[in-house]
Amino acid sequence: MPISGQTSALKVPQRQYVNFVFYRVDPAWRRLPENVRAQDKEDFLRAVGDFNGNVLVVPYSTIGIRGDCDFMLWRISYDLDLFQDMGAKILASGLGQYLSVPYSYLAMTKRSVYVDHHSHAGQEGKRLTVVPGKGKYIFVYPFLKTRAWFLLTKAARQGMMDEHIEVGHRFPSVKLNTSYSFGLDDQEWTVAFESDKPEDFLDLVMALRETEASRYVLRDTPIFTCIRRSLKDMLDTLGG
């Protein structure tokens, strides 16, 4: 569902807040009576639904894929406070009383400084607004570079990023979403790749390991493979 945004009198596009929040369900919840679990899921749906129109939520399941979390909500909003308000409502719901949050990554949109002379710069220019694709899978991870990267000249970094971008163009089935976390969270970027083809994402990552810019990667884990589902279907994967 679209979320509302505003621009200033100077027509400066408003940037969005982005959050990837991962939840783990206490196994004790699955031992509750079926009618209680059904009511708990309804409470959760209402808690998320209360923010329709102000927070865009794209749900994913990690059941059977990750051992340390069960589902993920990709949240996008123009108001940072709404992430907290929604989180509080979720935790106050019936299901929320059995949830923990092992991972949560906060970021913002920002236009890349490396794409001005690339043919897809027009598309990159829309990065201030996140438009989730329709890919069945999303691959999410926090990303940090070494301090040495930031001390390189802009020209040196641009050359390595040109190679990096060229490799990405070889895999058109993989859609990249980059958001910026500098000063907001522990990572510097949070990246999310959408695709219907996990094999293409695997090959893309292998190819990126061979680029010069890879020398300057400090950390790019943990990596989460998530399967997109409707909110109701995602809840049903939890059991009950």
Spatial separation of the C-alpha atoms in residues 196 and 200, rounded to whole Å: 9
pLDDT at 239: 85
Same fold across 17-108 and 121-226: yes
Domain boundaries, the chain: 17-108, 121-226
pLDDT at 10: 57
Name residues of the chain where pLDDT drops below 70. 1-2, 4-12, 116-126, 240
Write out pLDDT tens, residues 145-162.
999 999 999 999 999 999
Spatial separation of the C-alpha atoms in residues 191 and 107, rounded to whole Å: 10
> What sign does the dihedral 84-5-132-1 (CA atoms) show?
positive
pLDDT at 197: 98
Spatial separation of the C-alpha atoms in residues 146 and 188, rounded to whole Å: 10
Kindly give, in sequence order, each residue whose CB lies less than 8 Å from that of residue 180, ignoring residues fewer than 6 positions away: 107, 108, 109, 110, 188, 189
pLDDT at 125: 44
Write out pLDDT tens, residues 53-69.
999 999 999 999 999 99
CATH number of 121-226: 3.30.70.1030
Domain covering 17-108, topology: Alpha-Beta Plaits (3.30.70)
Report the DSSP beta bridge partners of residue 61.
Answer: 71, 227
